């Protein structure tokens, strides 16, 4: 019996899920990760590479801290702020954490409204996310200025192990750079959403390709990753 | 719209409430990690709490916000397994740094 010929696009949809799907994907003669668009797969692979970079930074910091014979400064005291005459430990870092988590919340909602093709809500939520991101970078600039004023340098600090300064500026600096790039990325995509580029299939000026709402989710992946890295920096750098 | 995108869009239709709940949970977990430091817990209790809250937060972000829970198994394994191997690297560097500390103590004699 000859089965009716199916267009290949429909075949894509009928791929098995679960373990059978995993085997089918990795044994694929066409492309791996069926039903996952290239844009999304490539962002995930980029984030995987970024995971390794941040992983190496945190491991370098761990070995520097474990191998030093000079006492490591106590982050709880170093990052304390005086509020109303009382030293509150890590308060700025806690607020920065809440700001970043909130930006992740608004981003997740933006992705949701993007798939509902609600232009205004998507763009507004992305702008709010960018605003939270910019706030975070602003607070980080304040934190850096305060520490630099107190004499922290990449080669030393007033409280102990010299490696504290170098790892602090390297790790938080690299994370702050990611946040800044994310804010720019968010603003660019929010503008496209607002203008209706993905409804009118307007071609991008750089790639001259038609975009679609999935880019909101891909931007979201990058943004949530920035929050994700902060979870680890918060635990290993500030709470250790 | 191409079928691939139509499918992806269908898959990622979750109620807004789900995101608000996760957002709230992340707030609560962050507060708990902050309190660990604020209260001044020390030793193994401090470390187990910090790591538990960290893993829970990371899991929520990856699973729900980044939609990993609804992705294909092949992609999940391709992305989540490699970072686990970083733990081997961590183990190697822990051993290396204790050795460096030991040699420094031997030759410079200063206590940490």
| Band of residue A42 on the pLDDT scale cut at 50, 70, 90 | very high
Question: Is A81 in the B-facing interface, judged by CB distances under 8 Å?
Answer: no
pLDDT (tens digit per residue) in A156-204: 999 999 999 999 999 999 999 999 999 999 999 999 999 999 999 899 8
CATH number of the domain at A170, please. Answer: 1.20.120.80
Contact B86 A55 (CB under 8 A): yes
Task: Let me know if residue A5 belongs to a domain.
Answer: no
The DSSP bridge partners found for residue A81 are: A88
Its pTM stands at 0.89
Contact A225 B97 (CB under 8 A): no
Task: Let me know if residue A6 belongs to a domain.
Answer: no
Question: Is A109 in the B-facing interface, judged by CB distances under 8 Å?
Answer: yes
Contact B12 A115 (CB under 8 A): yes
Task: Let me know if residue A16 belongs to a domain.
Answer: no
- Greatest Cα pair distance in chain B: 70
User: Domains in chain A: how many in total?
Assistant: 1
Task: Let me know if residue A20 belongs to a domain.
Answer: no
pLDDT (tens digit per residue) in A149-160: 999 999 999 999
| Band of residue B1 on the pLDDT scale cut at 50, 70, 90 | very low
Among candidates A9, A69, A102 on the partner chain, residue whose Cβ is nearest the Cβ of B105? A69
Predicted complex ipTM? 0.88
Task: Let me know if residue A15 belongs to a domain.
Answer: no
Task: Let me know if residue A219 belongs to a domain.
Answer: yes
Among chain A residues, CA nearest to B41: A239
Task: Let me know if residue A11 belongs to a domain.
Answer: no
Domain that holds residue A197: 37-239
Task: Let me know if residue A10 belongs to a domain.
Answer: no
Question: Is B77 in the A-facing interface, judged by CB distances under 8 Å?
Answer: yes
The predicted pLDDT at position A10 comes to 43
Among chain B residues, CA nearest to A12: B4
pLDDT (tens digit per residue) in A112-132: 999 999 999 999 999 999 999
Distance CA A25, CA A46 (A): 20
Among candidates B9, B27, B93 on the partner chain, residue whose Cβ is nearest the Cβ of A101? B27
């Amino acid at each position: 019996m000859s089965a009716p010929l199916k267009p290949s696009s429909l075949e894509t949809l009928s791929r098995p899920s679960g373990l059978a799907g995993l085997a089918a994907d990795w044994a694929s003669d066409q492309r791996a990760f069926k039903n996952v668009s290239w844009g999304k797969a490539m962002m995930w692979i980029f984030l995987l590479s970024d995971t390794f970079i941040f992983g190496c930074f945190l491991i370098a910091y761990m070995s520097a801290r474990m191998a030093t014979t000079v006492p490591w400064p106590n982050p709880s005291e170093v990052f304390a702020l005086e509020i109303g005459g009382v030293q509150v430990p890590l308060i700025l870092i806690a607020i920065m954490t809440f700001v970043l988590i909130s930006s992740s919340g608004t981003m997740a909602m933006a992705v949701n409204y993007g798939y509902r093709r609600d232009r205004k809500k998507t763009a507004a939520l992305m702008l709010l996310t960018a605003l939270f991101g910019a706030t975070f970078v602003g607070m980080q600039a304040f934190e850096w200025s305060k520490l630099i004023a107190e004499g922290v340098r990449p080669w030393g600090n007033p409280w102990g192990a010299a490696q504290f300064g170098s790892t602090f500026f390297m790790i938080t600096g690299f994370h702050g750079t990611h946040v800044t790039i994310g804010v720019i990325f968010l603003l660019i995509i929010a503008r496209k959403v607002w203008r209706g580029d993905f409804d009118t299939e307007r071609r991008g000026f750089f790639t001259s390709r038609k975009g679609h709402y999935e880019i909101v989710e891909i931007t979201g992946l990058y943004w949530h990753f920035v929050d994700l890295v902060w979870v680890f920096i918060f635990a290993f750098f500030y709470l250790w | 719209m191409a079928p691939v995108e139509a499918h992806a869009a269908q898959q990622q239709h979750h109620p807004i409430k789900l995101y608000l709940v996760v957002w709230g949970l992340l707030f609560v977990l962050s507060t708990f990690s902050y309190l660990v430091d604020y209260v001044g817990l020390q030793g193994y209790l401090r470390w187990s709490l910090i790591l538990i809250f960290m893993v829970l937060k990371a899991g929520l972000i990856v699973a729900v916000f980044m939609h990993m829970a609804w992705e294909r198994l092949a992609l999940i394994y391709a992305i989540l397994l490699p970072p686990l191997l970083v733990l081997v690297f961590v183990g190697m560097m822990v051993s290396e740094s204790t050795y460096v500390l030991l040699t420094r103590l031997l030759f410079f004699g200063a206590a940490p």
